[in-house]
Amino acid sequence: MSPIPHGTNRLLIDMPSWLGDCIMATPVLRAARTAIPEARIVGLVRPGLDRLLAGCPFVDEWIALDPRGVAGVWRRAKVIRAVRPDAALLLPNSFRAALALRLSGTRIRAGYARDARGFLLTHGLAFDKRRERPIATLEYYLRLAKWSLGVESIDPALHLAVSEEDRAAAASTLRGVTGPFVVLNPGGNKPGKRWPAEQFAVVGRALSARHGVRVVVNGSPGEREIVRDVCAGVPDSINLVERGVTLGALKGVIERALLVITNDTGPRHIAAALGTPLVTLFGPTDPRWTTLPGIRERIITADPFLPEELVADDVPERCAIGRIPASDVIHAAEAIMGQVTAGEGRGRPLSKTRGASEKGGGEAS
C-alpha cells in the first residue's frame, strides 16, 4: 500500500520555493490528480508563485504563505492545520517545512527522509545525497511521487496555464512590438550563473541585424541594472523591468516569443513548460541537475569537454560561465530560429549543435 492512500479526501502538497523548482514539480500535481481523482488537492506555495501556477487544472486551491521569520514555522503549521488534510506530500528539503508539517498534526506526512528530519515524517523515502550526484530535480520529485502515490510511471511534461488575462497583460507590456521577437534573460540568483550582460548584448545585436527580430530583455526588479546594461547595447530593445512585467504577463510574453535565450534560472522553466524554444547557458552549475526531457532546447556549457565523472559545480574556475563565446550562442539561436521559421513547430527536442551539451538528456518517467 502506498503511503498516501488512494481514498484520501484532502491532500496537501507543499511546493518548492524556487520558481524553476516549482514548475519542475508540476508533473507531481498531475500525478496526484490522476491517482486520487476525487480528492481535494491544496497546494502550499510562496507568495507570487500562486499567480504563476494559476489555472493549473490539477489543484483545487492555492495557499500563498511566507514561511520566513522566527514565527514562520508556527504560522505555516497553523495554515496547514486549517486545511485539515488527511495526508501531505512534502516536496521542499528543508527541516523547517517538515517541522511545520509535524506541528500541524497532519496524520500522514510523506517526504524524503534526509537532513536529519526523518523522525518528523510518518513515511520517509531514504535519500543519500552523497551517492546521488547529480540527479535531475525533476527525476528527484518523480521518484518521491511514484513512491508516495503508489504509481509506476508519471508523465514528466511540465505544465503552466496562460489565461486570457495573462495574454492581455502581455500585449500591454509588449506595446509597440508587432513582429517576431526574441527574449533575452540575463539574470540569475547567483552571480556565477550570469553570462556577462555585454555578451547578451552582442547576441541581441546580431540577431536583430541579421534576422530583423525585436529584442525583449527580461529580469526581476533586483536585476534592473543588468537588464538596463543589455538594453543599452541593443538598439530598439524592450526593457520588461521598466515596463513593470508581472509573472502573469511574463507567461504571455514567453508564450509568444520566437526564442528565449537565458541563463539557468526561472524563466527557462516557464519557456520549457510553454513549449517555447530555448538556448540555455550553464556555467558552474551542472546541467544534469535540471535536465528537462522532451523540450526544444540547446544547452551550451562553459566546458563542453568536461568529463562525465566530473560535476561542473565542483570545478567552478574551469566552468566559469564567461568562457562561453557569443559566437556559440548566436550559432545555436540561429539554428533554432531557422527550424522554427521552416515550420518544424515548437516543443520538440533538438539535436546537439557546436559547443552545445546535452548531458543527462534521458527521459524521466
Across 4-9, average pLDDT? 95
Q: How far apart are CA 174 and CA 164, in angstroms?
A: 15
Q: What tens digit of pLDDT does each residue of 304-326 get?
A: 999 999 999 999 999 999 999 99
Please state which architecture CATH assigns to domain 164-344: 3-Layer(aba) Sandwich (3.40)
> Which pLDDT belongs to residue 346?
54
**pLDDT at residue 136, as a whole number:** 95
Tell me the average pLDDT of the chain.
Answer: 92
Q: Specify the higher pLDDT residue, 284 or 349.
A: 284
At 212-264, the pLDDT tens digits run: 999 999 999 999 999 999 999 999 999 999 999 999 999 999 999 999 999 99
Which one has a higher pLDDT value, 341 or 72?
A: 72
CATH code that applies to domain 10-149: 3.40.50.2000
- List the one residue out of 52, 93, 99 whose CA is nearest residue 80: 99
Q: What's the 3-state SS for the chain? A: CCCCCCCCCEEEEECCCCHHHHHHCHHHHHHHHHHCCCCEEEEEECCCHHHHCCCCCCCCEEEECCCCCCCHHHHHHHHHHHHCCCEEEECCCCHHHHHHHHHHCCCEEEEEECCCCHHHCCEEEECCCCCCCCCCHHHHHHHHHHHHHCCCCCCCCCCCCCCHHHHHHHHHHCCCCCCCEEEEECCCCCHHHCCCHHHHHHHHHHHHHHHCCEEEECCCHHHHHHHHHHHHCCCCCEECCCCCCCHHHHHHHHHHCCEEEEECCHHHHHHHHHCCCEEEEECCCCHHHHCCCCCCEEEEECCCCCCCCCCHHHCCCCCCHHHCCHHHHHHHHHHHHHHHHHHHCCCCCCCCCCCECCCCCCCCC
Q: How many CB atoms lie within 10 A of CB 352?
A: 13
Does the pLDDT value for residue 363 go beyond 60?
Answer: no
> What pLDDT digit, counting tens, does each position of 172-227 carry?
999 999 999 999 999 998 999 999 999 999 999 999 999 999 999 999 999 999 99
pLDDT at 357 over 60: no
Q: Residue 132 pLDDT > 80, yes or no?
A: no
Residue 365 has pLDDT above 60, yes or no: no
pTM of the model: 0.91
Torsion, Cα 91 95 96 97, to 10 degrees, reads 20
Query: What is the chain's Cα-based Rg?
Result: 21
Position of cell 527574449?
Answer: 183
Domain definitions of the chain by residue range: 10-149, 164-344
List, for residues 32-63, the tens digit of each pLDDT value: 999 999 999 999 999 999 999 999 999 999 99
| Cross-strand partners of 61 | 42
Using pLDDT thresholds of 50, 70 and 90, give the confidence band for residue 360. very low
What cell was used for 284? Answer: 558552474
